A and B are shown apart, each in its own frame.
Chain A
Amino acid sequence: MPDGGQPAILVEGLTKSFGEVHALRGIDLSVPRGTVLGVLGPNGAGKTTAVRILTTLLPPDGGRALVDGYDVVREAAAVRRSIGLAGQSAAIQLELTGRENLEIIGRLYHLRWPQARSRAVELLEQFGLADAADRAAKTYSGGMQRRLDLGASLVGKPRVLFLDEPTTGLDPRSRLGMWDIIRSLVADGTTILLTTQYLDEADELADEIVVIDHGQVIAAGAAEELKGRAGGDVVEFSVPDRSRVNDAAAAVAAIGEGEPHVDPETGVVSVPVGGRGSDALVEAVRALDAAGVVTRGLALRRPSLDDVFLTLTGHAAEEEEQPNGRKRGARRRERAAS
């Protein structure tokens, strides 16, 4: 057993290129045991490449990576005994039942038949699939398939679990269910590296967050620290009359400590106001009133990770194409406003 004091995942100067494309340009990570690292970034930022290297699926070009104390290149076999991987799509055999899927994975972990069977039963119960155990997985809902897939990644009782966008494409209720499961795994002491494009997901689940953009770590810290970097509080409102959005932004430009950000699609204007909080809110009301712009939902809020992303990268996370065509950032704002 490797030394319990060292991090579960240690990455130094990791690089990987695919021809001309530099997927990773020197990444450093350190994940203490029993914690969750959220790797946040838009599509194509290099998140999946990093996970593929850490799970021994892809050799790195440079740098080194230790998982559970083992080198992912020189001790790949040992790494594979320590990890579990659940990817973006449900890597299960849809024609087989949930029970069969888990039993086969158990056998491939070299469990004897009785152990493989009882481990399958355990996981089916843990993930609320006991009633559906003997139905073909193709009859499962998207959320159930994803839970079965997560169950499959846990058959070998991994000490380090890699979840590559575990909730991409799930409906909101299934997402919340998945979050509960992930929290319970952490409570059992599993170390988790979770990639996500969803700022609220990283905010909810991760002890530490690293933000990756164009193959580099552009920020790291706890969610609260990162929010602090976005420049403090934000005054935010929406303008129902879209033709007046820019007038509104111009009116509040003077009170902000940075440029107001306008989302032309939703008509939402947000402006960072630093630590001036409620004073800035009053000023904003006056300025908007003077400009004669009607607003809705004018409020002061703590910065979200959306704001952090915007500050750090100069572009909003939701500007990237989402696989499910949904704009997560917009949804988050709706929720914050309601």
Chain B
Amino acid sequence: MTAIAERIAGPVGAPNWRVRFGWAVTDTLTITRRNLLVWMRVPAYLVFTVVQPVIFVLMFRYVFGGAIRVSSAGGYVDFLLPGIIAQTAAFACFGTAIALAQELKKGVIDRLRSMPMARSAVLTGRLLADTLRMTVTILIVLGVGFAVGFRFSNGVGPAIAMVALAILFGVAIACISAFTGLAIGDEESVQAFGLIWIFPLTFLSSAFVPIATMPGWLQAFANNQPVTYTINAMRALALGGPVEANLWKSLVWLAGIFIVFVPLSVRAYRRAS
């Protein structure tokens, strides 16, 4: 009995939910801070998350753009920017998988799981850091877009909604990415696997060209996949036009991704070895 009493009162007793919730928050912030520090220390990561999207904007604007006919009032640059922002968000969160696979392999996740910290924090801290990183990248792409002629033509509120939708889309991709990283656990394989699903999903969509220019069998896929719904909704928010249909389909898809991949990621993290 005394042992039990001591455990409740003593420093090793199980803390109540309020304390535990507080730890979950501070641990998440600590892991976020750590991940952002690492990101800033590695030049290659900066290149991947900042320079590459900028090159994509310039390349599509000036190299391919002249050959692509679109019906948007502002021309190709207005058509392009929402697409490239969605692609940027998807690619930025590709890093989530690689980072988790690396930490798993090096034993960092073992170390953290053997500590009395909130177990959820490794995943939530990773997602928060990657979301912040992605937001910075999106703002840089927007800035470059403005410099090469892109303009919002539907007001401030919808413009903010467009950025928010892009971030939500990126977080959904990050959840899938986190699951693949933890489930596969090998950096090179994770990288190869990421290319297999992220590239087709972003390029076989309305991101860079009007879907009507694709062959019929490809249109069937491109018209009905979540990236197209999301980009069409973003485009409508940025430039005006009917939003609802695409936005709802996009949100349902994203909700579906969260419902499936959040539990899968948590399970993969618990079982990770």
Contact = CB atoms under 8 A, between A and B. Distances in A.
Interface of A: 1-3, 52, 55-58, 70, 77-78, 80-85, 87-93, 95-96, 100, 104-105, 107-110, 136, 152-153, 156
7 contacts: A3-B3, A57-B110, A78-B12, A88-B107, A93-B38, A108-B30, A136-B41
B6 to A, nearest CB: 7
A153 B111 contact: yes
B111 A156 contact: no
Interface string B67-110: 00000000000000000000000000000000000000011101
A95 B110 contact: no
Contacts of B11: 81
A167 B113 CA distance: 22
Contact of B111 (A2, A82, A107, A152): A152
A6 to B, nearest CB: 11
A87 B107 contact: yes
Given A1-B10, A89-B107, A110-B26, A57 B115 contact: no
A55 B6 CA distance: 23
Given A57-B273, A87-B111, A89-B107, A109 B117 contact: yes
Given A77-B14, A83-B114, A93 B108 contact: yes
Interface in B157-186: none
Given A52-B273, A107-B26, A107-B30, A156 B107 contact: no
Given A57-B273, A96-B37, A109 B116 contact: yes
A109 B38 contact: no
A87 B110 contact: yes
B273 A58 contact: yes
B115 A80 contact: yes
A95 B38 contact: yes
Task: Enumerate the 9 nearest inter-chain pairs by beta-carbon distance, A residue then B residue, closest first.
Answer: A91-B107, A91-B111, A95-B41, A87-B107, A108-B117, A80-B116, A85-B114, A55-B114, A107-B30
Given A77-B14, A85-B111, A85-B114, 19 more contacts: A56-B114, A57-B110, A57-B113, A57-B114, A58-B273, A78-B12, A78-B14, A81-B116, A87-B111, A89-B106, A91-B106, A91-B107, A92-B108, A95-B41, A96-B34, A108-B30, A109-B117, A110-B23, A110-B26
A77 B116 contact: yes
B6 A1 contact: yes
B113 to A, nearest CB: 6
B5 interface: no
Interface residues of B, number: 31
Given A3-B3, A91-B110, A100 B115 contact: no
Nearest to A92: B108
A93 B116 contact: no
B99 to A, nearest CB: 11
A96 B38 contact: yes
A156 B26 CA distance: 17
A77 B23 CA distance: 13
Which DSSP category, helix, strand, loop or mixed, fits chain B's interface?
helix
A110 B6 CA distance: 21
B112 A108 contact: yes
B42 interface: yes
Contacts of B106: 89-91
A156 B116 CA distance: 9
B136 to A, nearest CB: 18
A100 to B, nearest CB: 7
Contacts of A105: 115
Contacts of B187: none
Nearest to A68: B12
A137 B6 CA distance: 41
A238 B237 CA distance: 83
B116 to A, nearest CB: 4
Interface string B40-53: 01100000000000
B130 interface: no
Contacts of B38: 93, 95-96
B27 A85 contact: no
Contacts of A55: 110, 114
A53 to B, nearest CB: 11
B116 A96 contact: no
Nearest to A69: B3
Interface in B109-149: 110-117, 121
B10 to A, nearest CB: 7
Nearest to B7: A78
B169 to A, nearest CB: 28
A120 to B, nearest CB: 14
Given A52-B273, A93-B38, A96-B38, A104 B30 contact: yes
A94 to B, nearest CB: 8
Contact of B108 (A3, A84, A91): A91
B34 A104 contact: yes
Q: Which of B23, B27, B115, B273 has the most CB of A within 10 A?
A: B115
B27 to A, nearest CB: 6
Contacts of B115: 80, 105, 108-109, 156
A2 B3 contact: yes
Contacts of A109: 115-117
Contacts of B10: 1
Contacts of B34: 93, 96, 100, 104
B273 A80 contact: no
A120 B37 CA distance: 18
A58 B111 CA distance: 13
Contacts of A108: 27, 30-31, 112, 115, 117, 121
